[in-house]
């Protein structure tokens, strides 16, 4: 068997939908999840892409994730919305949150949505770009199961806790910042484990606090934060915004995104939308373009996230290259 398989985007979407629908997921939720996972794979974010399908399916089959959940939104103040993901996948809840804050921010200039009882948010770019497409500046914070230890400690307390921003430009795609607060997302470590590959020794520590190149040992330990103690402080900041503020489980209280055992993770996300024109006195587009030019004007420099556009074009033209073993595993799920 070849080591990899090439799938066009439509075929990849069909595969994911079929696997999820055969795993106790409604057609509507399967479509929403598939779109997000294929988009991440298209952007080269394999840790948030098709590699997630087996663990997602295992969790819906066990009941840890409710594949039939329908997210609900409640407006709790003029510019504030509370979204209950109802222990389902994050993607339908975040799609609802984005729609709610976009409509309110267009009217009021700013809006925020707090999502609770949620799950893995995937590639944060996927969500904030939807706000930028409507001319809004989008911000997002999310927490996740424990993966980062407090500075000086050994046991995980904070998640990798992604943060993201998408800022619309007058011309061209938005400027996007999307990063977790670990040196690498745990999804990349999981993808390495599935592919039978080693990882760099500066990504993670094993359960004894020792650097490791074994992804299986890394998944049992903790990941190394960006910026050392400063990264841990940022992880705390995101934990407050996405869990304390939303009423969700903290990372040390949340169950794993990867295993089928245990209670639902119950994590949280905060989505904020800002109307940039009024705040900037109409200068936002010009100021943002000046900032982008200062970066792009330097030889070999590029804006964060710009590589994604080349990867998208390549995937559209050539398809997605996926481990054959993973494709076979996904196909097998639809037959169970």
DSSP secondary structure, 59-108, as one string: HHHHTSS-BT---EEEEEETTEEEEE-TTS-HHHHHHHHHHHHHHHHHHH
Q: Is the pLDDT of residue 197 over 70?
A: yes
Of the two residues 146 and 208, the one the predictor is more confident about is 146
pLDDT in tens, 1-55: 579 999 999 999 999 999 999 999 999 999 999 999 999 999 999 989 999 999 9
CA distances for 229 relative to 93, 301, 314, 316, angstroms: 32, 27, 38, 40
**What is the per-residue pLDDT for 121?**
97
**What is the per-residue pLDDT for 1?**
56
Whether the CB-CB separation of 257 and 189 falls below 8 Å is answered with no
**What is the per-residue pLDDT for 195?**
82
User: What do you get for the CA distance between the two ends of the chain, in Å?
Assistant: 22
Of the two residues 114 and 189, the one the predictor is more confident about is 114
pLDDT in tens, 59-88: 999 999 999 999 999 999 999 999 999 999
Q: The whole model's pTM is what?
A: 0.92
Angle between helices 27-42 and 9-21 (to 10 degrees): 140
Residue bearing tokens 């996927």:
126
Name the average pLDDT for the chain.
94
Give the residue among 139, 173, 132 at the shortest CA–CA distance from 311. Answer: 173
**What is the per-residue pLDDT for 86?**
98
CB burial readout 192-217, b (16+ within 10 A) else e: bbbbeeebeeebbbbeeeeebebbeb
Report the share of the chain in percent with pLDDT over 70: 100
């Amino acid at each position: 068997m070849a080591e990899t398989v090439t799938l066009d985007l439509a075929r990849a979407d069909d595969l994911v939908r079929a696997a999820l629908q055969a795993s106790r997921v409604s057609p509507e939720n399967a479509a929403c999840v598939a779109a997000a996972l294929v988009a991440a794979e298209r952007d080269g974010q394999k840790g948030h892409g098709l590699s997630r399908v087996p663990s997602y399916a295992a969790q819906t089959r066990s009941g840890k994730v409710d594949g039939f959940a329908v997210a609900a939104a409640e407006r709790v103040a003029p510019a504030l919305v509370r979204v209950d993901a109802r222990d389902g996948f994050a993607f339908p809840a975040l799609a609802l949150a984005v729609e709610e804050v976009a409509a309110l921010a267009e009217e009021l200039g700013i809006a925020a949505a707090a999502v609770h009882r949620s799950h893995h948010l995937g590639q944060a770019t996927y969500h904030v770009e939807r706000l930028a497409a409507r001319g809004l500046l989008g911000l997002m914070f999310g927490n996740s199961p424990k993966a980062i230890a407090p500075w000086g400690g050994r046991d995980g307390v904070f998640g990798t806790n992604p943060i993201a921003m998408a800022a619309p430009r007058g011309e061209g795609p938005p400027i996007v910042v999307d990063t977790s607060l670990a040196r690498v997302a745990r999804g990349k470590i999981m993808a390495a484990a599935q592919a039978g590959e080693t990882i760099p020794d500066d990504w993670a520590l094993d359960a004894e606090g020792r650097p490791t190149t074994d992804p299986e040992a890394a998944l049992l330990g903790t990941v190394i934060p960006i910026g050392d103690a400063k990264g841990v402080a940022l992880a705390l900041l995101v934990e407050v915004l996405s869990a304390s503020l939303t009423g969700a489980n903290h990372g040390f209280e949340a169950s794993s995104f990867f295993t089928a055992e245990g209670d639902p993770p119950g994590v949280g996300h905060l989505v904020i939308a800002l109307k940039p024109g009024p705040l900037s006195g109409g200068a936002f587009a010009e100021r943002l373009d000046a900032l982008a030019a200062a970066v792009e004007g330097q030889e070999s420099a590029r804006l964060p996230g710009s590589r994604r556009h080349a990867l998208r074009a390549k995937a559209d033209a050539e398809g997605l290259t996926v481990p054959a073993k993973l494709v076979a595993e996904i196909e097998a799920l639809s037959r169970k």
